[in-house]
Amino acid sequence: MNITASFLLSAYILNFIFIVYILFFERNDSARRFSWLLAIAFIPIIGISLYVLFSGNFFTRPKRMLKANEKANEFFRKTLAKQQKNLDILIKNGDNQTLDDYGPLIHMNLLYGKSPVFSGNSIHIFKSGEEKYKCLFKELSLAKDTIHLSYFTINNDETGRELVSILTQKANEGISVKLLYDYVGSLRTSSRLFKPLLKAGGQVSRFFPVSILVPFTVNYRNHRKLVIIDGHAGYFGGMNIGDEYANRNHARPYYWRDTHVRVTGHAVALLQKQFLVDWYTSHYGAPLNLEEIQIIRYFPDPTDMDETGTKNVTMQIVSAGPDDMRNDEIRDAMTLMISLAKKSVYIETPYFTPDTVFFTALKIAALSGKDVRVIVPGNWDKWYVKLAAMPFMAELLSYGVKFYRYHGFIHSKMMVIDGFIATIGSTNIDSRSFALHFELNAFFYSEEFGNQCAAMFDEDQKASDEMNAAWFGRISRIKKALWNFFKLFAPLL
């Protein structure tokens, strides 16, 4: 047998082994399994390589991540235990009817998402990068003790250089600056961008660097966007660092619409906790024991601080990621929100390839008479995701879900139920966010804030065109066939 024949035989046997493994031992849902079977069948060997790298079955959780999470959960253990013990009293406190009406969501986020409920927070929403950066950069320049930042993408453009310049100045002033960025999300950004900050004494770390020797983390990215200043003010949401988010220097040929949040109050401690877990997971030179951290410095008493925006908001902050493949805390919480809806479900998302669970929840909500609306981009930044999303939207449209194309690119990740409860964060409506990325979402229980989010949705809907049955009817059969082909790979996108 010659070399070519031996290679082909080996490839055939290897393909067969992986097909058997996926058929009988793969634990993911049927859609994901079928997508991988197609990939391996259509592109032998290459499909196997993609499966090993991207399926999620070969992810080995670093011991540092496990220990950091254990320490972090221990830090909030007393608060969680107290709230779990007094859950009924917590929900039926008489001061917030929203807590009583949507108590099951609080219950699940508390027990399953391990997120305490904190009241009395002040929330300010940003609808564009212009607003966010103006406020953030000013607040960073006024920091007195610590600055912690974690971003999926930091571009080496005018906005990125402005951020690094401010951080460098603060490091020169003696402020403790820690900057974490995702290795793949910022792959096109040279480490030279951060040299001035490092020279000034700031600390910079990359989340899960990928190499030939350690390739399996390539698919497990830190998609969170966090800033915590002096332990008092926190920022989170959908915006990274780059000109495109601020519609600056013509970085994109269309308008970029996004949503980000500034919070002050007790909930900031949850953002701080998550940053420290991510930091000590990726920064190997740092101490691991969270008990050694200066608690007063990183978790100060949130009293007597500047409050702007909507006040006295009750909220929970839930994190999720591939470190626990059995749980999808954020997706499950969002699914429960849909099931609890009495009148309406409003969603804004830049990508829409929902898994079976989320798809079914939207279908049932629409068929049961709820007003279900989804705003997606008019200009998509990823053409293949758009093609994969269209069949989902066409089918849900037949069940009564309404879809709208925003005039530009909408990167906002927001869902509002009945104008009462809302969630905002980094999570997209796709399998990647639900299962493979490290994400963070806040859940807000405030009629005033819920109404504000609903009003924001209405404004975005007015800047959108409805995708009705007539619109889909004008699409050619060839294009629809292309949609259906890309839908097969939706669980992998």
- What pLDDT shows up at residue 304? 47
Q: Are strands 371-377 and 439-445 parallel, antiparallel or unpaired?
A: unpaired
- What pLDDT shows up at residue 90? 65
- Give the pLDDT band (50/70/90) at residue 471: confident
C-alpha–C-alpha distance, residues 122 and 141, integer Å: 21
Mean pLDDT within 58-71 = 69
How much of the chain, in percent, has pLDDT values that exceed 70?
80
pLDDT digits (tens, 9 = 90+) for 275-300: 988 998 886 555 555 555 665 666 66
pLDDT digits (tens, 9 = 90+) for 373-397: 999 999 988 888 888 898 999 999 9
Q: Which of 283, 413, 437, 487 is an active site residue? A: 413
- What pLDDT shows up at residue 378? 94
Query: 101: exposed, middle or buried (C-beta count within 10 Å: 0-12, 13-18, 19+)?
Result: middle
Is it true that 63-91+122-313 and 329-492 share their CATH fold?
yes
Task: Look over the chain and give the mean of its residue pLDDT values, rounded to a whole number.
Answer: 85
Residue 250 designated active-site: no
Query: 366: exposed, middle or buried (C-beta count within 10 Å: 0-12, 13-18, 19+)?
Result: buried
C-alpha–C-alpha distance, residues 368 and 52, integer Å: 41
Q: Any idea which of 16-30, 135-149, 368-382 has the lowest mean pLDDT?
A: 16-30
- What pLDDT shows up at residue 94? 55
Q: Is 126 helix (H, G, I), strand (E, B) or coil?
A: strand
Burial 337-347 (b: 16+ CB within 10 A, else e): bbebbeebbbb
Residue 328 designated active-site: no
Residue 101 designated active-site: no
- Give the pLDDT band (50/70/90) at residue 28: low
Nearest of 180, 278, 297 to residue 229 by alpha carbon:
297
Residues ≥6 apart with Cβ < 8 Å to 290: 68, 71, 72, 74, 75, 276, 280
Mean pLDDT within 110-138 = 93
Residue 418 designated active-site: yes
Token pair, residue 21, equals 């493994």
- Give me the amino acid identity at 165: S
C-alpha–C-alpha distance, residues 480 and 387, integer Å: 9
User: Residue 282: which H helix or E strand, with range?
Assistant: helix 268-282
C-alpha–C-alpha distance, residues 25 and 23, integer Å: 6
Mean pLDDT within 399-416 = 96
CA 218 to chain CA centroid, nearest Å:
17
Find the distance separating the first CA and the last CA of the chain, reported in whole Å: 40
Q: Which of 223, 273, 370, 487 is an active site residue? A: 223
- Give the pLDDT band (50/70/90) at residue 70: confident
Residue 411 designated active-site: yes
Which overall architecture, per CATH, does domain 63-91+122-313 show? 2-Layer Sandwich (3.30)
What residue ranges do the domains of the chain occupy? 3-54, 63-91+122-313, 329-492
Q: Which of 418, 430, 437, 460 is an active site residue? A: 418
Nearest of 227, 151, 216, 228 to residue 183 by alpha carbon:
151
- Give me the amino acid identity at 388: A
Does residue 171 register a pLDDT over 90?
yes
- Give the pLDDT band (50/70/90) at residue 124: very high
Residues ≥6 apart with Cβ < 8 Å to 4: none
User: Residue 204: which H helix or E strand, with range?
Assistant: strand 203-207
Does residue 306 register a pLDDT over 70?
no
Higher pLDDT, 349 or 89: 349
- What pLDDT shows up at residue 283? 65
Question: Per the CATH hierarchy, to which homologous superfamily does domain 329-492 belong?
Answer: Endonuclease Chain A (3.30.870.10)
pLDDT digits (tens, 9 = 90+) for 216-259: 667 788 999 999 999 999 999 999 999 999 999 988 989 999 99
Mean pLDDT within 404-419 = 96
Q: Which of 225, 266, 363, 437 is an active site residue? A: 225
Residue 148 designated active-site: no
C-alpha–C-alpha distance, residues 364 and 301, integer Å: 44
Token pair, residue 344, equals 């309406």
Q: Which of 260, 411, 437, 487 is an active site residue? A: 411
Does residue 211 register a pLDDT over 80?
no
- What pLDDT shows up at residue 289? 56
Does residue 71 register a pLDDT over 90?
no
Higher pLDDT, 224 or 56: 224
Q: Which of 157, 230, 258, 332 is an active site residue? A: 230
SS3 content of the chain, % helix, strand, coil (to 5): 45, 20, 30
Q: Any idea which of 99-103, 128-132, 192-196, 263-267 has the lowest mean pLDDT?
A: 99-103
- Give the pLDDT band (50/70/90) at residue 4: low
Contact 298, 287 (CB under 8 A): no
Q: Are strands 421-425 and 439-445 parallel, antiparallel or unpaired?
A: antiparallel
C-alpha–C-alpha distance, residues 218 and 39, integer Å: 18
Mean pLDDT within 414-426 = 96
